[in-house]
Amino acid sequence: MKKYVGDKFRECRLACEMTQKDVAKRLGVSQPVYNRYEKGICECTYLQLARLCDIFDVSADYILGRRDY
């Protein structure tokens, strides 16, 4: 599941034309930490998930694979 969510983070980030550094700065973490989220090495917190959904303008259901949008 971590890898699937990480792939969704990457997909959304690229769709928003953002770098990992851009997202990390808006999220309040370092770029290496955000990179671990995308690679599925670590899990973000629920609050970070909510913030990432705001940054990417998508729902948590989309990130978690419950919806196609």
Assigned domain for 68 exists? no
Return the CATH number at 55: 1.10.260.40
10 burial (CB, 10 Å; 0-12 / 13-18 / 19+) is middle
> Domain residues for 44?
2-63
Residue 28 pLDDT more than 90? yes
8 vs 25: CA distance, rounded Å: 19
User: Tokens 């973000």 appear where?
Assistant: 44
CA pair distance 45, 42, nearest whole angstrom:
10
- With b for 16 or more beta-carbon neighbours within 10 A and e for fewer, the 55-67 pattern comes to bbebeeebbeeee
Task: Write the pLDDT tens digit of every residue in 40-65.
Answer: 999 999 999 999 999 999 999 999 98
Query: Is 19 a member of any domain?
Result: yes
Q: For residue 50, is it within any domain?
A: yes
Mean pLDDT estimate for the chain:
94
38 in any annotated domain: yes
- The reported pLDDT for the residue numbered 69 is 60
Residue 69 maps to a domain: no
For the chain, the domain total comes to 1
Percent of the chain at pLDDT > 90 equals 88
What is the model's pTM? 0.90
Q: Is residue 23 part of a domain?
A: yes
Residue 51 falls inside a structural domain? yes
